[in-house]
Structure 1
């Protein structure tokens, strides 16, 4: 799940309570007003454009981070950069034009790390096979949305396990970030140990992290992006990085376009990979859509038709992204910053989409961003994801233990899949042997049984 870098503690007024002057609304171009229903939502073109810029600044870091992470899996960074910009623009535009929601989309953090560091580097699959797994999970995701199964599955997963998954992915991102920064390194005696803090890259990563936290606390829009750019600039002076310019024609997307390997992804060994992609996409995207829509005052009964369109929009973006050549696309919680700035309609999303398209022409700058420059942003996101632990009922061990097992197993086994598996199995076992099996939704037994079968099968 993505974490917004602009913390809006105050409630956001709904469209009905907006204080936008009627004269300002009247100045909006009539066709924009009709298409996006600006007046009905108490907003203006200017407000929507500002909201779109705000959202973009809080999530633009993904154009630097995603190529860096997927590049570690052997994918061509230039092509991934183009795919990232294109799918962010396409998915967000569909969200705005079809669902009329002020929600932006882009390749998801956590899922890209699972794609690169677990599926490809850890399990040994090619990135083409991993893209095939993303495509299949996207098709399943779309099917569950079309047939109304998405809500049923979501309701069947205990809240404690959802929290455990979010926290576990956060801890997994933390390990990756610290490793990329050089702050932790391998050790034969203790598995991990402190890295060399005298290296310029390590010092710059630490400076970048503190910069991100301070800027975020001061409510600076785009704190993550600012931190990445700061470390990148300093790297040219203190870490031997080479500057190749800022603007150029976009790189070719051909190295990743339609390169997915469906035949390899349909092999039996990739089933659990597809399941993990599907489940994380399910929780991440649905939770984000509901949270941002609620904050914008768009979850009334009259607005549920738009929510269904939004669910379809984010489902379709997943397999579209796999065709272009990137990991799973999801709705971004950073969209809440645009809502806080007054965004209420799809014009906010369309603004974000146009800005992502404009980013296609800054590929030299994206290619110059080192891994230790994106590490502070990753670590900051990881820290914020741990706050979900406060939502657990610590007096109920049959809920807390499965959640913590899920969270701890992900970083310690270096696998989101293992964390999910241990969490579901632990939840089912504890509910069964404490006589509380009726509290577990049938979906828990189904998913837990699938994971248990997988472990038994692999053991033999």
Structure 2
């Protein structure tokens, strides 16, 4: 383990990596239940989607850990699964089998772009200031998610967002968890995030706000209702609408994953002095495997998960963290009843603390250079306000080349960044 994952070089231990993997898993385990609920609205078998979600998360994350050796986890993405269910299947009245075929076609294109290192070129072409903005934006985004999931902020017709009901018992549990986690971290207690989650869970059980499951083990449902349907329905992608849907799956997955990988790597200190991510090709291949195999199993597009930052904050630095997360996903298929104790009130404090840590990347942006500052600001604030990593990136990437041109700094912009600006304009118009 030490030799393969270079644990000593990365100043970590086997125990710390496994704990980090467990923290990442617990932080993102909600997708095991949310994804079947969303795709179930499209008529898909919820039990099969549950198994497909856990399997593809385990496969892609294990590949990330063993081959790319990074502590990043991959699973079906939120947001894009809603586009799959509500826009494509329900809105366009496309059978879910055909929609899965559309995801599989996007996965093939995704894989080709990865093999020819086009995605790696794009990531390395992003200026360091904008990479810092992406990392900070993801921090603001997951902090926003944590505050929302915990009930501390709520939707409002008048002001869009407002303070939640702080007298609600579950919200009070979140507040307790936040204070506990922040105190643990501020006093430099090891594994503060994970201990905060355990403390919040115990408080919820003691107060009756979190119910213990009646059983610990259950056999996983059958995968047969969804397995292989994507391949058999490829020929049904024969309309302009479905071509646009396929391209949308491709673009959202491309930039969601690229943005997340850049943000996580930047925050963890994996970006080198040249502004590049070592072994980027292998890391990108990991999520392309997920994008390709996921629809065959029976789920919507996969993406790198921003919750990986929770494991990184605990001390995860190598692929052993990701491998541990993958193993926990496999175990979850049998121990799924136990996951019900991991409520949004338990994960919210972890997300908020990680959001605080990632937002510190704002300090690395050159705020005196207005074109850079404006583009970075739009990326950072755009992610939580549009509830999308790719949409936030698009706002900054369109603005950046325009402002650099009009201020006489156009030569500093690479051809790839000009091309990305055009791609995002077309993307926003079509979608």
TM-score by structure 1 length? 0.71
Judged with a 3 Å threshold, the aligned counterparts in structure 2 of structure 1 residues 83 and 233 are, in CA distance, closer, same or farther, namely: farther
Aligned residue among 282, 294, 302 for 1:328 = 302
Query: 1:275-354 counterparts in 2 under 5 A?
Result: 275-285=251-261, 308-309=281-282, 311-324=284-297, 325=299, 327-330=301-304, 332=308, 334=311, 353-354=326-327
Gaps of 5+ in 2: none
SS in 2 for 1:61: helix
SS in 1 for 2:174: helix
Higher mean alpha-carbon deviation, 199-208 vs 443-452, is at 443-452
The equivalent residue for 2:247 is 271
SS in 2 for 1:185: strand
The CA distance in 2 between the partners of 1:354 and 1:63, in whole Å, is: 14
The equivalent residue for 1:27 is none
Q: 1:368-425: per-residue Cα shift (whole Å, max 9, x none)? A: 4333333333333333221221110111111111110122223223343432222112
Q: 1:322-346: per-residue Cα shift (whole Å, max 9, x none)? A: 4443652438453686666xx6xx7
The CA distance in 2 between the partners of 1:252 and 1:51, in whole Å, is: 35
Judged with a 3 Å threshold, the aligned counterparts in structure 2 of structure 1 residues 288 and 165 are, in CA distance, closer, same or farther, namely: closer
Aligned residue among 379, 384, 391 for 1:418 = 391
Judged with a 3 Å threshold, the aligned counterparts in structure 2 of structure 1 residues 381 and 363 are, in CA distance, closer, same or farther, namely: same
Query: 1:214-233 counterparts in 2 under 5 A?
Result: 214-217=183-186, 218-221=188-191, 223-224=193-194, 227=197, 230-231=200-201
Shift of 1:433: 1.2
The CA distance in 2 between the partners of 1:255 and 1:229, in whole Å, is: 39
RMSD: 4.2
Judged with a 3 Å threshold, the aligned counterparts in structure 2 of structure 1 residues 435 and 164 are, in CA distance, closer, same or farther, namely: same
Query: 1:51-450 counterparts in 2 under 5 A?
Result: 52-62=17-27, 64-70=29-35, 73-75=38-40, 82-95=51-64, 99=67, 102-107=69-74, 112-115=77-80, 135=104, 138-217=107-186, 218-221=188-191, 223-224=193-194, 227=197, 230-231=200-201, 234-235=204-205, 237-239=207-209, 241=211, 243-253=213-223, 257=227, 263=237, 266-268=242-244, 271-285=247-261, 308-309=281-282, 311-324=284-297, 325=299, 327-330=301-304, 332=308, 334=311, 353-450=326-423
Q: 1:2-26: per-residue Cα shift (whole Å, max 9, x none)? A: xxxxxxxxxxxxxxxxxxxxxxxxx
The CA distance in 2 between the partners of 1:410 and 1:294, in whole Å, is: 22
Partners of 2:219 and 2:333 within 8 A in 1: yes
The CA distance in 1 between the partners of 2:336 and 2:367, in whole Å, is: 47
Higher mean alpha-carbon deviation, 229-238 vs 128-137, is at 128-137
The CA distance in 2 between the partners of 1:52 and 1:209, in whole Å, is: 24
Q: How many residues are aligned here?
A: 406
Gaps of 5+ in 1: 1-35
Partners of 2:25 and 2:328 within 8 A in 1: no
Shift of 1:211: 2.8
Judged with a 3 Å threshold, the aligned counterparts in structure 2 of structure 1 residues 69 and 403 are, in CA distance, closer, same or farther, namely: farther
Q: 1:289-314: per-residue Cα shift (whole Å, max 9, x none)? A: 7987959x9x9xxxx8x775555344
The CA distance in 1 between the partners of 2:177 and 2:185, in whole Å, is: 12
Q: 1:46-98: per-residue Cα shift (whole Å, max 9, x none)? A: x975354233233221452323543563557765554454334323443455x
Partners of 2:107 and 2:250 within 8 A in 1: no
Partners of 1:81 and 1:363 within 8 A in 2: no
SS in 2 for 1:238: coil
SS in 1 for 2:288: helix
SS in 2 for 1:244: coil
The CA distance in 1 between the partners of 2:102 and 2:206, in whole Å, is: 38
SS in 1 for 2:154: strand
Partners of 1:170 and 1:381 within 8 A in 2: yes
Partners of 2:154 and 2:162 within 8 A in 1: yes
The CA distance in 2 between the partners of 1:294 and 1:414, in whole Å, is: 26
Partners of 1:168 and 1:410 within 8 A in 2: yes
Query: 1:34-53 counterparts in 2 under 5 A?
Result: 38=3, 49-50=14-15, 52-53=17-18
